[in-house]
Structure 1
């Protein structure tokens, strides 16, 4: 017998297997399409969509009244939805406004208002001091006379005081007619008690020999009788 060797079967790789499978699949698909595809005329006639007629809830064809009622219901639903949307929008707007107002109040509360600057206190008026002598008595009497509207000058007061008492507040005349009548003249300007009582100036001591009370009462009397103490040059 001749000696020969059978050829070894060819080994298929993975690439060959995938290619073969793809070819087989494509062939089957082409066959199915060719079998299932109807002709153009048959397709147009068989597959034309039928006209859909609207029906009511009971399955019967809808009448014009049914369509009108459905339209009213649809409009009612749409109006309700729109009202709800408007209400929601209004609520959101009101809520946003409230939040803005609250934030404004909070900011105002956080920022403490600046205290108004305190007005400086008016300095207390220092009472005017006068010397306890004839010059001081005349000057204090003049200030009181000015406040009360009683005329008179330093010169007029000083001149009459020196003539009447030489500046002695306790001087007493015990020899003139007044002394004879029991009401002697006393003080810097030699005033009798009835005259002092009638012309006493409020705010001064009610004492005939007090220097300030004596001067102001005498000046008040002289202003009433002579126009001013400055017009007096002798016993008055």
Structure 2
């Protein structure tokens, strides 16, 4: 922030008025300020006047974590305020994807909201907002791709370890994100295996993890989707020790 300038006040000028912004919904209070020099300093605005803080209305999201066997219809019945499965799907399409019948275990769906009101005392004692942390960076290599994919997976409850991913990547593609299999039965059927963990397009789309690229050759997206598939079929990529 720019430093405040220093100004001298004429000695004959004893009283001035300053406008001190106070948290009252955008209003400002004009408060008397005694202008003195020497050893006497102006009192902080917070000590000059105290303004009661009104309760702050808040909205909290109500969520549901998808488990095996869940469908949008079943979830909508558990949460009647969701408005039915169609509204539930519309509100969570960015997470679910284009097919409402494909909701995978581990996804977190928003099924409604509820209001909560913070007390004036709680609002007054709330600590100032922390400075946003710098965005995490990753190296553009296999080590960085795996670490970024693990962070994405953690956000969506997808299991897997660095060693389990690395072991399978080296077997499937030797760490080449542009690897493609043009000779096996999948390739003969028109869906060759692609990328670090050699996923075919239908599997990649079905298990694509929101927030990652839709390009199967993208290393982070490929790892996340493959681990999501492995979690659904084998419990974790760590349990995969051969072609899958």
Residue number in structure 2 paired with 1:170: 178
Deviations 1:151-188 (A, max 9, x none): 00000000000000000000000111001111000000
Deviation at 1:122, TM superposition (A): 1.4
Deviation at 1:114, TM superposition (A): 5.7
Residue number in structure 2 paired with 1:113: 49
Q: For 1:47-62, what aligned pairs fall within 5 Å after superposition?
A: none
SS state at 1:200 partner = coil
Residue correspondences, number: 128
Structure with greater strand share of residues: 2
Structure with greater helix share of residues: 1
Residue number in structure 1 paired with 2:165: 157
2:145 maps to 1:142: no
2:157 maps to 1:221: no
Deviation at 1:118, TM superposition (A): 10
Provide the alpha-carbon RMSD of the alignment: 2.3
Deviations 1:93-118 (A, max 9, x none): xxxxxxxxxxxxxxxx8684168999
Deviations 1:64-110 (A, max 9, x none): xxxxxxxxxxxxxxxxxxxxxxxxxxxxxxxxxxxxxxxxxxxxx86
Give the one of 193, 197, 201 matched to 2:205: 197
SS state at 1:139 partner = helix
Moved over 6 A (4+): 115-118
Residue number in structure 2 paired with 1:186: 194
Deviation at 1:124, TM superposition (A): 1.4
Deviations 1:177-231 (A, max 9, x none): 0011110000000000000010000000111100010000000000000000000
Change (3 A) 1:117 1:148: closer
**C-alpha distance in 1 between matches for 2:213 and 2:170:** 22
Answer 1 or 2: higher relative contact order, Cα 8 Å, separation at least 6.
2
Structure 1: state its 5+ residue gaps. Answer: 1-108
Residue number in structure 1 paired with 2:45: none
Q: Tell me which structure has the larger Cα radius of gyration.
A: 1
**C-alpha distance in 1 between matches for 2:159 and 2:131:** 31
Give the one of 139, 156, 165 matched to 1:131: 139
**C-alpha distance in 2 between matches for 1:195 and 1:113:** 64
Deviation at 1:120, TM superposition (A): 4.3
